[in-house]
Amino acid sequence: MAAGAIRVTMEVGADGVALITIANPPVNALHPIIIAGLKDKYAEAARRDDVKAIVLTGAGGKFCGGFDINVFTKVHQTGDVSLMPDVSVELVSNMMEEGKKPSVAAIQGLALGGGLELAMGCHARISTPEAQLGLPELTLGIIPGFGGTQRLPRLVGLPKAIEMMLQSRFITAKEGKERGLIDALCTPDELIKMSRLWALEIANCQKPWIRSLGRTDKLGSLSEARAVLSAARQQAKKVAPNMPQHQACLDVIEEGVSYGGHAGVLKEAKVFKELVVAPTSRALVHVFFAQRSTTKVPGVTDGQLKPRQIRKVAVIGGGLMGSGIATALLVSNISVVLKEVNPQFLQRGEKMIAGNLEGLVKRGSLTKDKMNKAMSLLKGALDYSDFKDVDMVIEAVIEKIPLKQSIFADIERICPKHCILATNTSTIDLNVVGEKTNSQDRIIGAHFFSPAHIMPLLEIVRTEKTSPQAILDLITVGKIIKKVPVVVGNCTGFAVNRTFFPYTLGSQVLVSLGIDVFRIDRVISNFGMPMGPFQLQDVAGYGVALAVKDIYAAAFGERYLDSDLVDLMVKDGRQGKMNGKGYYIYEKGGKPKPDPSVQRVIEEYRKGAKTMPGRKPVTLTDQDILEMIFFPVVNEACRVMDENVVIRASDLDIASVLGMGFPKYRGGLVFWADTVGAPYIYSKLSKWAELYGPYFKPSSYLEQRAKSGVPLSAPSASPQGSARSRM
């Protein structure tokens, strides 16, 4: 962005109102140039005798999307907090709120983060009804830093303000008007005119001159406020135990409630600066930018290629995955032909899609009208006659190689020449899938994660022969259906499943050494994973683990441990959540409960494994458990990066967060590993390899990085010719 495009302008009308406009496309973010410009224009307006009042607005139909997050990255790189300009006290409190001339915010589009904080520093807020208002700073590991923790509770009341900040929840200006955040609503055409008039009426004492920071009428009594804050603290401990910004935000709010708005603003500024350089903010800002870089694919998105329009997609297989994929396409207005082998299976698939859509309506993410529109775009099929005009086929049948090969031979013959031939396989080599076709340039992996209409990750798998056009088209479809596409190379398990295969194996190693199943799950959940590895196995079903066992054993050799724990569970009549009995007991509507009777299966497994030294359980700390599960995962990630299965390390971070639920506030798998340090990980794996065998043996990539002191995430100095993700 050229500095010339980033500017703050001021026009003084004949009515004596100075119109100050923020211009920094696309969302008028508060770049340091903008902040300096605002200070300059507010100072000028204060000096000028011909200015009676001020209206603050944003160019291009958007008020302001908040502080420029790129500045956080510079602070993280340098550790220099002084790069953060003083906005809260100098600009919002002193120049705007305490200024001698009234300010009115004219809002449309959005007023988020620092943008909403500027608006709350004004003496009134006029908005178009649909404008989005919110303070989402906690998603970046920080708190609102320009007075938002103090002014929002004073405008909307404590409970709503806490909800908006701690849950990063947006509201429309229409709701803002009902809550007291917005003073008046109007059409975009009337916005500036009405705001000017309002500002003049304040200046002429015809409307109240209200400084938000001085208000206490919506805070309730001190004891009421403290009760609300106490309940919020308990809730934050439950839902965000590892995220310090939640408690910090409540501390700062309480300071203002107890000692007044100005005291709160000063504490907020101090805590904000501390949090900006804290590990959680570094991790979350890394994830924010990493997610935005996954669609930058060398040789695909940096050239002259244009995406083709995908109007109609055929999905083969209406099971759990196929129906989920179809649902994701339908809600994004893409026509779907769902093919099944017989009428019963087809009817079941259509019912599952209808159930998925109804679930989205219940969650409030889809209207009834949109659900009906989505169902009208679905057509069932028992043969290929409707495939003659499809733009893409996604095969989602069971993981059987001959079946997939025969389907691909059929669709190559029947579908138009431009049609993309995609498979949702999670493990099988794409070259094997497309072996019996002559269209390998159109063959691509579209690996969705279950449930496919909800999980946000789409792994796009390319072979050496996949055309850049097919990749670009699938990236585009991924964006349309609101997925985060990550382009990866073709290998067993691709990026996510390959990197995380040791996650399950590591937990089984620990059980064989005498560690309690439920303790392992507890340690991993406390670290921040949505559930531990054994509960995950229950939920995913044992069929998947058994189906890929031989494939992984053949691909990974000595680093794949042959464990028969799942076989023993099945032999004991356990199928996990599917039949209500696995490591846990599952009752309808209840939480999973550890099943004590699983102990006999565990004992049988330990007897067969014979890994306990002297037949006695080993003694391990919680940290040992965590490391013995995750360090082998990091080790496999090193191999994935070494072989260039991913374009960049941050793609693996995003894939781990969105595909496996790795805690976002730890920055993703590789980012977290770099905070632990390659030398430490290498030394631990080396020690365990001596004790327990080659499963733990450090990869050459990890060894080299540990000895050279280069971070795991740093790009390799010499890119390899066989870079699988860069083909």
Cα 16 from Cα 7, distance rounded (Å): 22
The one catalytic residue in 117, 350, 395, 627 is 117
Which DSSP string corresponds to 228-288? HHHHHHHHHHHH-TT-HHHHHHHHHHHHHHHH-HHHHHHHHHHHHHHHHTSHHHHHHHHHH
Which DSSP string corresponds to 680-698? HHHHHHHHHHHHH-GGGPP
- Angle among Cα 484, 377, 130 to the nearest 5 degrees reads 60
Residue listed under structure tokens 């920071």: 213
> Is 459 tagged catalytic?
no
Tokens representing 277? 């350089």
Cα 8 from Cα 59, distance rounded (Å): 10
- Angle among Cα 614, 619, 625 to the nearest 5 degrees reads 120
Q: Letter for the amino acid at 340?
A: E
- CA distances 305 to 240, 299, 422, 466, Å, are 43, 9, 20, 15
Cα 183 from Cα 200, distance rounded (Å): 15
Strand 457-462 relative to strand 484-489: parallel, antiparallel, unpaired? parallel
Cβ 132 vs Cβ 194: under 8 Å: no
Cα 152 from Cα 154, distance rounded (Å): 5
Residues sharing a CB contact under 8 Å with residue 189, sequence separation 6 or more, in sequence order: none
**Three-class secondary structure assignment of 136-173:** CHHHHCCCCCCCHHHHHHHHHCHHHHHHHHHCCCCEEH
> Is 175 tagged catalytic?
no
The one catalytic residue in 137, 350, 395, 627 is 137
Cβ 465 vs Cβ 440: under 8 Å: yes
Cα 87 vs. chain centroid, distance in angstroms? 29
Q: Letter for the amino acid at 599?
A: Q
Cα 261 from Cα 71, distance rounded (Å): 27
Among residues 164, 150, 162, 158, the alpha carbon closest in space to that of 112 is found at 164
Active site residues: 117, 137
